[in-house]
Structure 1
Amino acid sequence: MSFKGFVEGGIAAVVAGCATHPLDLIKVRMQLQGEAHSKSLSEGQSKKSHVKMAVQGGVLGVGLQIVQKEGALALFSGVSASALRHAMYSTTRLGLYEVLKQQWADEDGKLPISKKILAGMIAGAIGAAVGNPADVAMVRMQADGRLPFHQRRNYSSVADALFQMVSTEGFSSLWRGSFPTIQRAMVVTAAQLASYDQIKESLLASEVMRDGFATHFAASFLAGLVASIVSNPIDVVKTRIQNMMVVPGLPPPYVGSLDCALKTIQSEGPLALYKGFVPNVTRQGPFTITLFITLEQIRCLLRNF
């Protein structure tokens, strides 16, 4: 098995993840909007006023609020965890996807879209399982600034976050939300990688475009859009489960993905599962474009190695 694909994918993913981190942070904050008010809603507050309290503005509005309240550097809260996450998660999924493609390709090197999707799902699931600890740390560090000061976790780094989670919540907390994380990774990886390959191959086969920057840009843009649409509901559930505070002796806010989804819909409506969609697609687009363009350039540089 060649490790070249793992190295290429890991470098490209870390670059893309760090470059688009502020957009990912805004997405997480928007996905958590309204959650803090669910208690007051259950105690008799009207749904109309609840929704009004939850709505805090669009992408720019949330971004400006973060800068005004927490400072410009707050947009990069959890960036160390993001880098570690992609070094573990994306390195695994991108490298394994290439391995599976090579193993399953026919004599002409071609692979049907169904096998590309399956390869993406397998690679995404394994990558998510490997990277879940860093993913939990990243979500918590990104969400910390929205909490009242006395409730903040105040992790100083991803290493501090992982250490505190293990020491206060147990080793299993590192894999909190792993099921929705794996679900999301399977969907995102299959949508992102399979659609990029398929769109790129179609553009080149039809001779509409030649292999180069423009083709890579078009294919990655469309792949990012597809990935955002299919993954957003799972992403909302994943974010809320990973960010939930579990008080010893009390039942957790959510007991699983389905419970979280149902409670979210019940208290905030079905469209709550698409909270953060605009920043998600705004982030997923640049991330996917940066990822694949960087990956293509790294492949060119390492072609002879």
Structure 2
Amino acid sequence: MGLKGFVEGGIASIVAGCSTHPLDLIKVRMQLQGESLAPSPAAGAVLRPALAFQQSGSVAVPIHPPPRPGPIAIGVQILRSEGPAALFSGISATVLRQTLYSTTRMGLYDMIKKRWSGDTGVMPLHRKIAAGFIAGGIGAAVGNPADVAMVRMQADGRLPLAQRRNYKSVVDAIGRMVREEGLTSLWRGSSMTVNRAMIVTASQLATYDQAKEAILRHRGAAADGLGTHVAASFAAGIVAAMASNPVDVVKTRVMNMRVGPGEAPPYSGALDCALKTVRAEGPMALYKGFVPTVSRQGPFTIVLFVTLEQVRSLLKDY
């Protein structure tokens, strides 16, 4: 019975991850916008980027940087400069990540839920949240190497040709990271990955279960169909996106940072990255990529839970 939850959750997660991969890639590119504004560690104090000025008569007029492109513009930019296939950069890492991370978290959550709910089959919200924290944290620790590889493969196209890593696949990415940066590089940003996964899993799975139960209480067991699953998963996607975006921005930047031999890393850790990001770009920088996060998290969560319910229905006799 316990293994069945892992299989069901794994299948649903892989389907959801692959179908929404282009949206996740756009989100990663947006989260890395403006990162070059952060000064190097040797610069000492972290300051906001200075404005450039142009002379207009006897008055120096500040030149404001152009607005950063939104998700649609970035998607078009990727298509034009890198081609349609670039929208699926890192797809092999996504499959491995969902296989390791999401299969683990979904299966563990299902096991904990069954154990804690007892004969009633109903678990209070605080226990759902606690189960999500536990399952998400363990799943993230297992899947972190694939997560690092996925972020790097998705971000590679924004770099100059000479600086691109050009990983051939997730296996090549993990192998090169171990050879060039050491085994510990596979768990770079793992503290943020674990924190994000705990937040996402707790908010996503607990909200889905709570919303589904509320709808069924109001409308009766006969309403347990596609409409209810979509409504509950949409609510879960919005809550998860709002809760996890700041952690996700920091995680993306820490995982993507390039550290040369003998060089100090741009960020000493997650907290350092968060502080430098806020000081250099303002507090709202932690919500960079929020629109694509919601645009991705919503469809991902809907596909995840709708697929999960269908897989459960197919495997109910096993």
Q: Secondary structure at the residue paired with 1:105?
A: helix
Q: Residues 223 and 272 of structure 1: is their aligned pair in 2 closer, same or farther, counting only changes over 3 Å?
A: same
Structure 1: 4+ residue segments shifted above 4 A? 40-44, 47-51
* Alignment of structure 1 residues 121-132 onto 2, 5 Å: 121-132=133-144
CA distance in 2, matches of 1:260, 1:253: 8
* CA shift for structure 1 position 44: 6.6
Shift of 1:302: 0.2
Identity %, equivalent residues: 62
| In 2: Cα distance, 1:292 partner to 1:245 partner | 36
- CA deviations 1:195-221 (Å, max 9, x no partner) are 000000000011177100000000000
Cα distance in 2 between the residues matched to 1:44 and 1:299: 52
Q: Distance in 1 between matches of 2:281 and 2:100?
A: 34
Partner residue of 1:297 out of 294, 300, 310: 310
Q: Does 1:60 align with 2:110?
A: no
Give, in whole Å, the separation in 1 of the partners of 2:52 and 2:112: 49
Structure 1 gaps, min length 5? none
Within 2, Cα distance between the matches of 1:153 and 1:47?
A: 32
**Does the 8 A contact of 1:78 with 1:137 survive in 2?**
yes
> After superposition, where does 1:145-184 map in structure 2 within 5 Å?
145-184=157-196
Select the residue among 29, 51, 63 that pairs with 1:46. 51
CA distance in structure 2 between the aligned counterparts of 1:50 and 1:157, rounded to whole angstroms? 42
Partners of 1:58 and 1:18 lie apart in 2 by: 22
Rg (Cα) greater in structure: 2
Q: CA RMSD in A?
A: 1.9
Contact 2:48 / 2:279 at 8 angstroms: preserved in 1? no
Q: Deviations over 1:171-193 (max 9, x none)?
A: 00000000000000000000000
| Contact residue 129 and residue 203 of structure 2 kept, 8 A | yes
Distance 1:108 1:210 in 2: 20
Secondary structure at the counterpart of residue 52 of structure 1: coil
> 1:112 corresponds to which residue?
124
Residues 253-296 of structure 1 deviation map (CA, whole Å, 9 limit, x = unaligned):
11111110000000000000000000000000000000000000
Preserved contact between residue 38 and residue 276 of structure 2 (Cα < 8 Å): no
SS at match of 2:119: coil
What's the offset of the Cα at 1:109? Answer: 1.6
Map of 1:188-199 to 2, 5 A cutoff?
Answer: 188-199=200-211
| Residue matched to 1:250 | 263
Aligned to 2:251: 238
Q: Distance in 1 between matches of 2:52 and 2:85?
A: 35
Deviation of 1:249 (Å): 1.3
How many residues align structurally? 304
Deviation at 1:50, TM superposition (A): 9.5
C-alpha deviation, 1:248, in angstroms: 1.7
Mapped partners of 2:124, 2:90: distance in 1: 38
What is the CA distance between 1:247 and its match in structure 2? Answer: 1.5
Structure 2 length normalisation: TM-score? 0.92
CA apart distance, 1:110: 1.3
TM-score normalised to the size of structure 1?
Answer: 0.96
Q: Indicate whether 1:185 and 2:218 are aligned.
A: no
Q: What are the ranges of 5 or more consecutive residues in structure 2 without an aligned counterpart?
A: 41-45, 54-61
1:85 to 97, 105, 109: 97
- Which residue is 1:26 aligned to? 26
Residues 44 and 223 of structure 1, relative CA distance in 2, 3 Å threshold: closer
Distance 2:63 2:110 in 1: 47
Q: Is the 8 A contact 1:34 1:51 kept in 2?
A: no
Instruction: Please tell me whether residue 10 in structure 1 is matched to residue 10 in structure 2.
Output: yes
1:43, distance to aligned residue in structure 2 (A): 10
The residue type equivalent to 2:262 in the other structure is: G
Q: Which amino acid aligns with 1:189?
A: T
Shift of 1:38: 2.6
Task: Name the CA distance, whole Å, in 2 between partners of 1:52 and 1:212.
Answer: 50
